[in-house]
């Protein structure tokens, strides 16, 4: 059967993001699922689904018409935090797109140049725009929390575990982690780690777990009080802090001490 030109929409089973696009098939029903760059990790981590919206004649005019429709689809959504399109692509001819896309992929230039992608992501991170926008992240979490969807769905992780998707898909998890690590995002962002650590400590304090569990505190205190240390300079003995203060009062190195019991 003959190849087709069509506009499409990509959605994901687990999260409410979407992506608009236009495609000219290399062969009929070629299984195309979009060609994102910045958000490629989402295709690896979640479960994408494609919805074909409209078909166009397999011609130069058909391609131009498809591009116009794609532009009308993307433009109203450019400021929507759930829309993964970051711009409306240049309107080039079908022939020019085919040649240019193939050449840029083969030679690693344009959007296929890793350095270009890295600069783009670095700029977004520095400016706090795109994927790194606080507004982008907060709106998504607020929406999911209010509707009990995504990670706030009580059955979300159980369903993912049962179906072997997302964090329970070893291959997808590995790819997503590597992508985030390469970008210095999420857990690999020092700012996020510091904020996450502080949030974790606040949660432990409220729930009285971890180091804030009274029983844990009591055991830790008993362990500390049962220890005996000795100054390696004059043999003074006591708790770790007492020996350190003793050394310091003498003008010696507070760390000059050893644990003897």
Q: How confident is the model at residue 92 (pLDDT cuts 50, 70, 90)?
A: very low
Can you give the pLDDT at residue 214?
76
* Residue of higher predicted confidence among 138 and 71: 71
> Rounded to an integer, what distance in angstroms lies between the CA atom of residue 139 and that of residue 88?
23
Can you give the pLDDT at residue 65?
94
Of 54-58, 86-90, 94-98, the range with the highest mean pLDDT is 54-58
Q: How confident is the model at residue 176 (pLDDT cuts 50, 70, 90)?
A: confident
Can you give the pLDDT at residue 202?
65
Rounded (5°) CA angle 178-180-186: 135
DSSP character at residue 226: T
206 vs 72, 123, 152, CA distance in Å? Answer: 49, 38, 20
Both tokens of 80, joined, read 């929507």
Both tokens of 2, joined, read 């003959």
Tell me the pLDDT tens digit for each residue of 97-136: 455 566 566 656 566 677 777 787 788 778 877 767 777 7
β-strand partners of 247:
none
Q: Which residue has the tokens 């949660």?
A: 203
The arithmetic mean of pLDDT across residues 196-223, rounded, is 68
> Rounded to an integer, what distance in angstroms lies between the CA atom of residue 186 and that of residue 204?
21
Can you give the pLDDT at residue 7?
95
Q: Is the pLDDT of residue 17 over 70?
A: yes
Half-sphere exposure for 235 (CA within 13 Å, toward CB): 0
Q: Is the pLDDT of residue 96 over 50?
A: no
Q: Is the pLDDT of residue 52 over 90?
A: yes
Determine whether 23 is exposed, middle or buried from the number of CB atoms within 10 Å of its CB (0-12, 13-18, 19+): buried
Q: Following DSSP, what letter does each residue of 189-236 receive, concatenated?
A: SHHHHHHHHHHHHHHHHHHT-GGG-HHHHHHHHHHHHT--EEETTT--
Both tokens of 85, joined, read 């399109």
Both tokens of 261, joined, read 């019991």
pTM (predicted TM-score): 0.38
Q: How confident is the model at residue 89 (pLDDT cuts 50, 70, 90)?
A: low
Helices and strands: H and E segment counts in the chain = 10, 6
Closest Cα to residue 25, out of 1, 53, 49, 61? 1
């Amino acid at each position: 059967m003959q190849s087709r030109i069509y506009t499409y929409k990509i959605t994901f089973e687990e999260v409410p993001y979407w992506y608009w696009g236009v495609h000219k098939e290399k062969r009929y029903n070629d299984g195309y699922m979009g060609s994102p760059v910045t958000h490629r990790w989402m295709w690896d981590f979640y479960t994408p689904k494609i919805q074909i919206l409209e078909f166009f004649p397999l011609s130069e005019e058909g391609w131009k018409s498809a591009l116009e429709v794609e532009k009308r689809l993307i433009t109203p959504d450019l400021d929507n935090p759930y829309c993964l399109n970051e711009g409306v692509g240049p309107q080039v001819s079908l022939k020019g797109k085919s040649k240019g896309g193939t050449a840029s992929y083969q030679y690693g230039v344009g959007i296929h140049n890793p350095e270009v992608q890295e600069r783009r992501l670095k700029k977004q991170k520095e400016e706090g725009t795109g994927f790194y926008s606080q507004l982008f992240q907060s709106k998504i979490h607020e929406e999911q929390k209010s509707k009990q969807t995504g990670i706030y769905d009580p059955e979300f992780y159980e369903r993912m575990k049962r179906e072997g998707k997302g964090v329970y898909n070893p291959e997808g998890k590995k790819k997503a982690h590597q992508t985030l690590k390469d970008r210095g995002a999420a857990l690999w962002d020092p700012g996020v780690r510091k904020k996450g650590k502080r949030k974790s400590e606040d949660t432990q304090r409220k729930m009285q777990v971890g180091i804030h569990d009274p029983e844990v505190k009591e055991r830790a205190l008993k362990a500390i009080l049962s220890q005996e240390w000795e100054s390696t300079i004059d043999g003074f003995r006591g708790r770790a802090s007492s020996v350190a203060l003793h050394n310091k009062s003498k003008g010696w190195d507070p760390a000059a001490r050893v644990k003897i019991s």
